[in-house]
């Protein structure tokens, strides 16, 4: 099931109230007053009784039953527990933007307004029309699984039908193309400002926020027109489909890979000496290109390259068309985000 992305969805989860992520997030975004009073009105529509409390001595926070909503600064957090260490120091466990955090009680109290909202769900408390929304949410999840299954089936059938499964280098090339497509797609999502935790975790391997810094550079676009992430997704997609559908063009794929290798030197040099920042997914992509090269070389695919014939230019046209198509989609998404 799709999890919610708002503090309201997190609070419902902490309370154990049946809800769907999409509808609870929608209800929160349509909430007229982003205040504890607004939360109270919204929770009431879910059949949840609430009570607001205000304390003058903020150390009394330990006496308030958890979980509860607390106003901290200009936002809200969900206090889920109070922990006491062996030395007597007390800490507050809370949820902030899906992340479980812990802070010393005295430090938490400094930012806490002293106002809290307590909630009392019962056996009848649930999202309005929950069953209908839940079935729709399950259908949406099933769509994603079915899509994944169909893609895997088509790739497996294409690889079997092409006969490339007899060649060890072709098996490695298939795996590299699939992994390269995954990595560059994650990088494309980052360039579109789509919040994906998986991409954030990968990017933090070499340097925290390194991918974001690199993507903000002018050099992250090919001649200022296409993002390198778009080029990467287009390259690995076309290479994968060509290998599965036209195995007789493997030598042209080897040539295309060889033409990409000079870019890897420039990319590493630019990150190391110009901006002094490492983009983990960019470095992984460069490594995959070199792994491809050695696979093509060891598999004996560097043959019959000359003379250059029409299929090579058709392959180049496919690469260009894929990048142009991805660029148009990216521009459309950026335009929609700008209007929202």
CATH number for the domain that contains residue 68: 3.90.70.10
171 and 205 in a single domain? The answer is yes
Given this model, what pLDDT does residue 215 score?
82
Domain ranges, residue 255: 163-339
The pLDDT value given to residue 224: 67
Chosen domain end from 120, 151, 181:
120
Percent of the chain with pLDDT over 90: 41
Q: Is 27 inside a domain boundary?
A: yes
pLDDT band at 1 (very low <50, low <70, confident <90, very high): very low
Shared domain for 202 and 333, answered yes or no, is: yes
Q: Are residues 205 and 333 in the same domain?
A: yes
Q: Do 141 and 50 fall into the same domain?
A: no
Residue 219: predicted pLDDT = 77
Q: What pLDDT band is residue 322 in, cutting at 50, 70 and 90?
A: very high
My answer on whether 192 and 310 are in the same domain is: yes
Q: What is the pLDDT of residues 107-148, one digit of tens each?
A: 888 888 888 999 999 989 999 999 999 898 888 889 888 988
Q: What is the pTM of this model?
A: 0.71
Are 256 and 317 a contacting pair, CB within 8 Å?
A: no
Total domains in the chain come to 3
């Amino acid at each position: 099931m799709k999890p919610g992305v708002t503090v309201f969805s997190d609070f419902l989860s902490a309370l154990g109230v049946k809800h769907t992520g999409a509808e609870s997030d929608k209800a929160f975004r349509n909430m007229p007053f982003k205040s504890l009073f607004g939360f109270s009105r919204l929770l009431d529509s879910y059949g949840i009784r609430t009570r607001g409390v205000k304390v003058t001595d903020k150390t009394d926070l330990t006496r308030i039953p958890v979980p509860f909503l607390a106003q901290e600064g200009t936002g809200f957090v969900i206090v889920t527990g109070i922990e006491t260490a062996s030395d007597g120091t007390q800490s507050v466990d809370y949820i902030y933007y899906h992340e479980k955090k812990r802070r010393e009680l005295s430090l938490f109290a400094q930012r806490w307004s002293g106002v809290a909202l307590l909630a009392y769900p019962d056996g009848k408390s649930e999202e309005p029309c929950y069953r209908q929304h839940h079935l729709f949410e399950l259908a949406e999840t099933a769509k994603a699984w079915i899509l994944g299954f169909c893609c895997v089936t088509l790739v497996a059938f294409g690889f079997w039908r092409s006969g490339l499964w007899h060649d060890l280098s072709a098996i490695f090339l298939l795996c590299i193309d699939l992994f390269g497509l995954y990595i560059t797609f994650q990088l494309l999502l980052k360039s579109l400002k789509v919040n994906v935790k998986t991409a954030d975790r990968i990017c933090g391997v070499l340097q925290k926020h390194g991918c974001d810094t690199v993507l903000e550079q002018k050099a992250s676009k090919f001649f200022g027109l296409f993002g390198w992430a778009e080029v990467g997704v287009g390259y690995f997609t076309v290479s994968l489909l060509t290998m599965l559908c036209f195995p007789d063009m493997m030598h042209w794929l080897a040539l295309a890979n060889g033409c990409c290798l000079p870019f890897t030197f420039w990319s590493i040099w630019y990150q190391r000496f110009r901006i002094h920042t490492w983009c983990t997914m960019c470095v992984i992509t460069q490594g995959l290109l070199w792994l491809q090269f050695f696979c093509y070389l060891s598999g004996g695919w560097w043959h019959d390259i000359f003379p250059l014939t029409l299929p090579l230019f058709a392959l180049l046209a496919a690469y260009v068309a894929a990048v142009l198509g991805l660029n148009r989609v990216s521009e459309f998404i950026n335009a929609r985000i700008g209007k929202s």
